[in-house]
Amino acid sequence: MTKHNFVPAPAPAVPEFRTVNLDTPIVRPTGDVATIQLRKPRSGELRSLSLVDLGQLKVDALIKLIPRISAPTLSEPEVANMETADLLACGAEIGGFLLQKSQRTDALDR
């Protein structure tokens, strides 16, 4: 009988930036914002925020965090006025930033 050595695939790397295409652009006098980039937050950018709230995609936490990590920089009122689907898309990307490599691998195996 031949033994096969199973080598698990490495966990996918988390890119520092994720792009979110907005279904409903944010209207600005200088031009509409239809695409934003979210940067992987550093610990200092999470001050005064609960990781549990971010993991649960709580709206108040997302409204506070997105302006800190978005390019172009969005204001809190702009984020608060985003369409729900766009806010959820941003939240999903942020959730991916918060997982460790092993958790991302486990999620892919399910």
Domain that holds residue 97: 17-109
Rounded to whole angstroms, how far apart are CA atoms 46 and 69? 10
Which pair of tokens denotes residue 97? 């930033």
Domain membership flag for residue 96: yes
Domain membership flag for residue 9: no
Which stretch of 30-34, 65-69, 83-87, 101-105 has the lowest confidence by average pLDDT? 101-105
Rounded alpha-carbon distances, angstroms, from residue 42 to 29, 61, 95 = 31, 15, 14
Domain membership flag for residue 81: yes
Domain membership flag for residue 5: no
Banded pLDDT at 16 (limits 50, 70, 90): confident
Under a CB-based contact definition with an 8 Å cutoff, are residues 43 and 98 in contact? Answer: no
Domain membership flag for residue 44: yes
Beta-carbon contacts of residue 44 (< 8 Å; ≥ 6 apart): none
Count of other CB atoms within 10 angstroms of residue 48: 6
Q: Is the pTM of this model over 0.85?
A: no
Domain membership flag for residue 34: yes
Q: Indicate the SS3 state at residue 69.
A: helix
Which pair of tokens denotes residue 60? 């108040």
pLDDT at 9 over 90: no
Which pair of tokens denotes residue 45? 């950018």
pLDDT tens-digit series, residues 60-98: 999 999 999 999 999 999 999 999 999 999 999 999 888
Domains in the chain: how many in total?
1
